[in-house]
Structure 1
Amino acid sequence: MKSRLFLLACITLLAACDKPAAATKGTIGVSLLTLQNPFFKVIGDNITAEAAKHGYDTLVVSADNDVARQSNQVKDFIVKKAAAIVLSPADSKAIVPVIQEANTAGIPVFTVDVPCNEPDVKIVTQVATDNFGGGKEAGNAMIEALKGQGGKIGVLDLKAVESCILRVKGFKEVLDAHNATAAQKLEIVSELDGGGAKDKGYKAAEDMLQAHPDMVGIFAINDPSALGARGALEKAGKVDKVVIIGFDGQPEGKQAIKDGKIYADPVQFPDKMGVEVVRAFVRHSKGEDLPPQMLIPTSLYRKADGEADASLK
């Protein structure tokens, strides 16, 4: 009896070993702006997790802010006959030719976080933060922080990236509306490229402070450049004289808000972006028509939110 049971177990095991693994439905090629930024890492991780739920593999790579590198990555996805391509463009204009190649190959292209609104390309849909709305929140936060005080404002921007352009546009719109009626005006006196990075943000903020030592506020288009600006303020001995408004809500940025180093951030939800871009692809693959963009609102995060945030120190 025991020998029969043993033989049956062996047969069952052999059958299981011979059974082929479940076939994947295909691979989604994902090229993100930079995986050095935790924000994009969260997007990539959530794309991978959500795609697996729907039976798709993923290939997630970093463009490292280099449009030539990203173009080569997209060409590789096309050669591999990817089921779909997801991009956060390193340069919304310069990426156009390779998106057109993907269009010609019949591979659906989606953008996440950073749009490509150029003519002559076909993007199924853009999944992103409402960056314009977030920029308006940042403008309101600056007005709130300065409590009626007027003065000179600096902006650390990133003009190669469409989402960052929208943030600055929203910020300026709110300041313009404020200045139309306020006794004390807020004047943007400097706009410099902060590179979306701490080191470049530090240098740009340092240059701003040297040119405008009486500056009262800085808006930075993301947390790394905001943290760079904070470093420049510390070096200049102006931490109590200049308000910083960031953008993103990365853990390091939230911690800085809790610690009083940054006043506030319009917080993005990169986890939702990753999930929603995969769901958009699945809907598209079933023949559903999608809107040209699917926007996720930001939420303003202040010191009180940081103090109530159990994930922080």
Structure 2
Amino acid sequence: MTVRARRTAAGLVAAGLLLGSAACGGGGKSGAAASGGDDGTGCNAAKGKTIGFSEPLPDPNFKAIEEILSKALAKYGAKLKAVNANLNPGKQISDLNTLMQQQVDALIANPVDPNATQGVFAQARAKKIPIIVLDTKVGGPYFTSVHDDVDFAGADGAKTLKSLVGGGKVAAMFGPAYAELLNWEKAGFEAGAKQAGLTVVDRQVNQKITPEDAKAIAESWRQKYGRDLKGIWTFNDVSAIGAASALGGGFAPAIVSINGQPDAVPLVEAGRITATYGVPYDKTGQALAYAALRAVCGGSVPKEIWIPTVKLDKKNIDDWQPIAQRVDNPFSLAFEQRDGKTYVKTS
């Protein structure tokens, strides 16, 4: 499962700058070639088009992304048709079939189970419907794939812990193995820990993704390691909040997490969570809208679009805006090349 929002659910235009070297993904439907008025993002041909959006589960982050998508598409006269899988792969397949029957002009999907959706994606390709996927590396080819860079957050989180604890012991709390995005995050952390020489003495999984289970895991570490445990990595802020509630009595490991969700912000301000990595989900939504517009306009896009994660600590947490405050931000997208990847600029 590739859903970034499980982390919080249980508890993320000025003309787009097309890169000259960007490769074309799967082109738009026949007759959807760009016409007059193409500004590098949308075109006159986008007017009246319908974009299908298959969300994996009900979640405030996805509702905000849906609203961002709708506003961006509306600028060019296109509309969004959103459906929600409720974490049910079978329902998602049915939803995608329904969207195709309704003759959508492009599909956006964040797969619950990326392997299960390959059959219906093949049907969409046969109908020449461009497919834009979010946070999956399974299958393809797709018109483009949008990725939240949790790989970097995991690796940099390990390096941040190393700078905080030196040769001290740390423990890591990971998410369920069925979540594709969380596996990328875990791999990033493990690679960063190895590179930094971080001493990871224990690894546990918060299978239910609840603060209560995270607290129980942290309390087991408190009993086992006590003051000797100098740091904790958590795969989401829900777990970081649970771990922070176990601090006290000399047990004070630095906690580094990922999400930048609103209820973690006061804990970062207070120093109970040392740092978290936020994803600017407004740019995720805008990148999806940009890709959909290029698809129906017969344009080209990078084969992969990466959304950078941002380290948040006491120095900059006051400047962080949750996605609910970003919904009305201007539709403005530009790209830059970093380490061989195409990133959305966030400045």
Q: TM-score, normalising length from structure 1?
A: 0.77
Letter in 2 for 1:295: W
Which runs of 5 or more structure 2 residues have no equivalent in the other structure? 1-45, 323-347
Contact 1:129/1:295, CA 8 A, preserved across alignment: yes
How many residue pairs get aligned? The number is: 273
Q: Quick one: distance in 2 between partners of 1:298 and 1:239?
A: 32
1:177 is aligned to 195
**238-247 vs 73-82, greater mean Cα deviation:** 238-247
Paired residue for 1:118, among 109, 120, 138? 138
Deviation at 1:310, TM superposition (A): 8.5
Alignment of 1:112-191 (within 5 A): 112=134, 114-115=135-136, 117-119=137-139, 121-146=140-165, 148-179=166-197, 185-191=198-204
Is residue 83 of structure 1 aligned with residue 105 of structure 2?
yes
Q: Quick one: distance in 1 between partners of 2:251 and 2:220?
A: 17
Contact 2:107/2:130, CA 8 A, preserved across alignment: yes
Greater share of helix: 1
> Could you say which structure has the greater relative contact order, defined with CA pairs below 8 angstroms and 6 or more residues apart?
2
Q: Quick one: distance in 2 between partners of 1:177 and 1:141?
A: 12
Letter in 1 for 2:73: A
Which runs of 5 or more structure 1 residues have no equivalent in the other structure? 1-22, 180-184
Q: Residue by residue, what CA displacement relative to the aligned partner does 1:183-214 show, whole Å, maximum 9, x if unpaired?
A: xx51252231445x4x2x53155146426732
Q: Quick one: distance in 2 between partners of 1:84 and 1:264?
A: 38
Q: Residue by residue, what CA displacement relative to the aligned partner does 1:213-246 show, whole Å, maximum 9, x if unpaired?
A: 3244332222233323334x25xx5784233222
Q: Quick one: distance in 2 between partners of 1:34 and 1:137?
A: 28
Identity %: 22
1:281 is aligned to 292
Deviation at 1:307, TM superposition (A): 4.4
Letter in 1 for 2:95: Q
Q: Residue by residue, what CA displacement relative to the aligned partner does 1:88-108 show, whole Å, maximum 9, x if unpaired?
A: 121222332222232233221
1:28 is aligned to 51
Letter in 2 for 1:141: T
1:259 is aligned to 270
Deviation at 1:149, TM superposition (A): 4.1
Contact 1:226/1:245, CA 8 A, preserved across alignment: yes
Q: Highest CA radius of gyration, 1 or 2?
A: 1
Q: Quick one: distance in 2 between partners of 1:271 and 1:157?
A: 24
- Classify the secondary structure of the residue corresponding to 2:107: strand
Q: Quick one: distance in 1 between partners of 2:159 and 2:249?
A: 22
Counterparts in 2 of 1:310 and 1:106: CA distance versus 1, 3 Å: closer
- Classify the secondary structure of the residue corresponding to 2:231: strand
Counterparts in 2 of 1:62 and 1:25: CA distance versus 1, 3 Å: same
Paired residue for 1:223, among 209, 231, 237? 237
Counterparts in 2 of 1:309 and 1:271: CA distance versus 1, 3 Å: closer
Q: Quick one: distance in 2 between partners of 1:239 and 1:53?
A: 56
Paired residue for 1:43, among 47, 61, 65? 65
Contact 1:110/1:277, CA 8 A, preserved across alignment: yes
Q: Quick one: distance in 1 between partners of 2:243 and 2:93?
A: 32
2:216 is aligned to 206
1:103 is aligned to 125
Q: TM-score, normalising length from structure 2?
A: 0.70
Q: Residue by residue, what CA displacement relative to the aligned partner does 1:56-114 show, whole Å, maximum 9, x if unpaired?
A: 111223333332222222122112111111111212223322222322332211112x2
1:71 is aligned to 93
The alignment's C-alpha RMSD in Å is 2.6
Deviation at 1:267, TM superposition (A): 1.4
Contact 1:268/1:299, CA 8 A, preserved across alignment: yes
Q: Quick one: distance in 2 between partners of 1:65 and 1:228?
A: 24
